[in-house]
Amino acid sequence: MQGVTTLHEFILERQAEFPFATGELSRILNDISLAAKIVNREVNRAGLVDILGAQGNVNVQGEQQQKLDVIADERFIQAFKTGGEICGIASEENDDFVAFDNEISRNGKYVVLFDPLDGSSNIDVNVSIGTIFSIYRRTSPAGELATLEDMLQKGTEQVASGYVLYGSSTMLVYSTGCGVNGFTLDPSIGEFCLSHPDMKMPETSRLYSMNEGNLLICEEGIRQYINFCQQVDPPTGRPYSGRYIGSLVADFHRSLIKGGIYIYPDTTLNPEGKLRLIYECNPLAFIAEQAGGLATTGRKRILDIQPERLHQRTPLFIGSKKMVEQVMGLIEEYANKKIDA
C-alpha cells in the first residue's frame, strides 16, 4: 500500500537506534505483533465460540480467570518461547515466573513481563480490553536459566514497553525510549500500520478517570482533587468530565490521545494499591513519560520503585503532567495538615 508504513518496516528503519540489540529487539516486537493478531482474532470471535466467561480457576491475584485470559497467556508465551530471544517471562496469570528451559532460549538476552489480557472482567460485555508488555535485558549470565532477579528490575531499566488495545479498532502502541508510536491493525492486509507517529500527551485536560466508588476510603488529598474537578470552572461554566471505563489500557489510551489523568489510589481496603507494578504500571509509566506525561504513586515516580515481588501492587496516578503534579500537591498538602493536627 503506497504511503503506508507497516510495523515491520518501521521497526527495521529504527533498528539503528539499538546497536546493542543486533536485531533481537526487532524480532521480539514482531513476535508480539503476531501474538496480538492471534489474540485479536480470538477476541473478535468470542461471542461465536465457547471462549466467553470464567475458566473456573482463580489466579495468583485472587481473581477469576476468564477463558480468554488463559488463551491470550498461552499465545504470548508460545510466541516468546519459540522466538529464541526471550529467556523467561512473568505474567499476571502465572503464580511464578517461567524460565524457558531449552538451549536457544537459555541464550536469549531478554525477559518479557506482561499482562496478557488487561480488563478481562469486561470481556463478556464487549468493552475494550488490552495486552500490556515490558521488555528488559536479562541480568543473569547467558546460557543459564532466567532468574527472579531478571524479572525484578526497576522500570528505568526497560528497553521497550507497550500495549495492544482491542477496541473499535486494534492498536499497538510502543516505545523503545525514543518517543511513542501507534499502529492500527488493517484487517484487509493483516498488518499493523503506522497511524499515530510521535505521540504526545497534552500537558493538561478536562478529563479525569477514577472509580469514584472508592472516594470515601481514599486519603483526603484525593477527595479534594476530585472535588476540584467537579467544581464549575468560571471560564467555561462547566466542571471537568469524569470518564472511567474500568479497563486500564482503554482509560490510559484516552489520556494519551486527549490528555487527562487516571487515578487508582491506595485505599483503606487496599493499602498497597491494586494495580501490579511490573507488568501494568511500569510499562505504561514508561510510555507516559516518553509522551511527555507523568506516572507516580501520588508521592514518588513509578519507574524509580525497586520491585521486591513479582505481583507487587502500587497506587497509580498517570497522565497529563500538570494534572498529576496538581493531585500530588494536594496529597502532600493534606497529609501535612493531618500530621500537624
Task: Summarize the annotated binding site for substrate as residue ranges.
Answer: 118-121, 211, 244, 274
- H helices of 230-318, in order, are 248-258, 282-290
Look at the block and give the residue holding cell 540489540: 21
Computed on alpha carbons and rounded to an integer, the radius of gyration of the chain in Å comes to 20
What are the binding residues?
92, 115, 117-121, 211, 244, 274, 280
Burial of 94 (0-12, 13-18, 19+ CB in 10 A): middle
Integer Cα distance of 7 and 174 in angstroms: 11
Give the whole-angstrom CA distance, residue 162 versus residue 192: 14
Q: How far apart are CA 240 and CA 199, in angstroms?
A: 23
DSSP string, 31-95: HHHHHHHHHHHHHHTTTTTT--SEEEEE-TTS-EEEHHHHHHHHHHHHHHHHHSSEEEEEETT-S
What's the one-letter identity of residue 273?
G
List the binding residues for Mg(2+).
Answer: 92, 115, 117-118, 280
All cell numbers assigned to 333: 498538602
Q: Which residue has the cell 477527595?
A: 223
Is residue 242 within a helix (H) or strand (E), and if so which, with residue range?
strand 241-242
